[in-house]
Amino acid sequence: MGAALLAAALVPAIAQAQGSNPGFDVDAATRAYLDLLQGPARAKSDAYFEGGYWLTLWGAVVAVLVYGALLVSGWSARLRDLAARRIKRTRLVPASYGVLFTLVTFVLFLPWSIYTGFVREAQYGLMSQTFGAWLIDQLKMLGISLVVNALLFTAIYAVIRRFRRGWWAIGTGVVIGFLTIGLLLGPVFIEPMFNEYTEMPAGPLRDRIVAMAEAQQIPADHIYVADESRQSKRISANVAGLGPTIRIALNDNLLNRTSPDEVAAVMGHEMGHYVLNHIGWLLFWFGLGVLVIFLALSRIAPRLIARYPRSGVRDVSDPAGAPLLLAIASLLAALATPYISTVIRWNESEADRFGLDAARAPDGFAKVAIRLSEYRKLEPGPIEEFLFFDHPSGATRIRMAMQWKKDNMPGATMAKPTLAQ
C-alpha cells in the first residue's frame, strides 16, 4: 500500500521533469533551427559581431585620444574663454561651452563615426542609406545634441559648483532626470525626425497585436509602422514612451520580411519590457553605474587637474575640464561592458519568457532569432556571451523557445523549419 502511494506521488513529478511532451526532442529541434544559418552567411554574421568586440575597445581609445588632444593642446581652455567672452553671466558659460564643445567633438569624431556607422554597416550589407542621407541623420542628431548638451552642461556644472563634495551623487540624479525626459519625449518629438510613422493597416495581424496589448493592459489605440527600411535592413519593434507618450511601433522590415507568428513573437517580447517595467529597472541599474563612475571622477579628476596645470583647467567645476571627465568615463564604461551587458541581457531574457507566454508562437520566436543572427553571432561560448552579449544569443533563445514548446504544447511534433513567410 505504501509503495503504491509512493509510486502515485512520483508519477506526476517524473512527468513534469520530462516535460508535458516527452516525445519532443528539444536538442534536435534547436539544432534544426541553428542549421538554417550556415556557411558564408554564418561566417559573415560571426565576423560582423566579433568585430564589435574590438569596436568597444577602439571606441574607448579614440575617445581618450580626442578628449586628451583637447586638453593637452589647450583647446578646451580656449573654448571656455571664448564661451566666457560671449556670455556675461557666469552660470551660463557651461551652456555656451557645451555648444562649442559639441560642435568641435562632432567634427573630431566624424571619421570614426563614418567608419562605424556607415562604411562598416555597408560592408556587411546592413545599410540601406546613401552616404548623404546618413550624414543628414547625423546632422539632425547633432542639432539635438547641441540643445541637450547645453542644458546638461549647465545642470551638471551648477551641481558641481554648489556641492563640491557630494556633486557625484546629485549629478547622478541629474543624468537620470535627463534620461527620463528623453524617454518621455522621444516617441513624440525625436523619433519622428528620423522616420515616418504611419498607422498599421487593418487586418488579422493588427487585430492580433491589439488583442495581445489589451490582454496586458497596454494602450493600443494606435499601432505604428516606421519606415526604417530606408536606413537599415534590421528588424525591430518597441513599446516606447512613458505615461501619455506610450506607443506600440514596429518597423517595416519586421512587417515585410517575417511571418505573422514572427511579428507576434517580437511584439510579445516588446510588451514584456513594458509590463515588467524594464525601463524603470534599466534606469535604476544604469543610474547605479553612473553613480560609481561619477564617484570615481570626483576622486581622480581633481588630482589630475592639479598635476597638469598647463591644460588650463582651473578645477573640477571648470567646464574646460569636461574632456578629462569624459575620457575617464569612457575608459570606465568600456571596463564596465560585462556589467552593462549582463543587466540588459537579464531584462531581455525576462522579456523573451514573457513574449513566449503572450504570443504562444515558439516557432515564430525561433525564426526571428535566426533572422537577428544575420548580424548577431548565433552560437557564442558561455564566457563570450557573458562578456559581450547584451541580448541572449540566438542559440540561447531558440533553445528557450523549443523548451517552451515542449512544456506548453503537448501535441507539438518535430518538423523541418524554414524561413519562408
Q: Which residues are annotated as a binding site?
A: 269, 273, 348
| Residue 352 annotated among the catalytic residues of the structure | yes
Gap between the Cα atoms of 35 and 38, Å rounded: 6
> 50 and 42 in contact (C-beta within 8 Å)?
no
Task: Choose, from 352, 363, 374, 385, the residue flagged as catalytic.
Answer: 352
Question: Which three three-digit cell numbers place residue 203?
Answer: 487586418
Question: 410: number of CA atoms within 13 Å, CB side?
Answer: 3
State the catalytic residue, choosing from 191, 228, 270, 385.
270
Tell me the C-alpha distance between 61 and 331, whole Å. 8
Residue 271 grid coordinates: 510588451
The three state secondary structure string of 200-230 is CCCCHHHHHHHHHHHHCCCCCCCEEEECHHH
User: φ and ψ at 170, to 5 degrees?
Assistant: -70, -35
List, as one string, the DSSP characters of 24-93: S-HHHHHHHHHTTS-HHHHHHHHHHHHHHHHHHHHHHHHHHHHHHHHHHTSHHHHHHHHHHHH--SGGGH
8 A C-beta contact, residue 248 and residue 224: yes
* 207, 237 contact by CB (below 8 A): no
What cell does 370 get?
535566426
Any idea which residue has 493592459 for its cell?
A: 217
Sheet holding 237-240, edge to edge: 197-199, 223-226, 247-251, 237-240
DSSP 8-state class, residue 270: H
What is the rounded radius of gyration, in angstroms, for the C-alpha atoms of the chain?
25
- 313 burial type by CB count under 10 A (0-12 exposed, 13-18 middle, 19+ buried): buried
Binding-site residues for Zn(2+) sit at 269, 273, 348
Is 396 in contact with 283 (CB distance < 8 Å)?
no
Helix (H) or strand (E) holding 395: helix 394-408
Q: DSSP 3-state assignment of 240? A: strand
Catalytic residue IDs: 270, 352
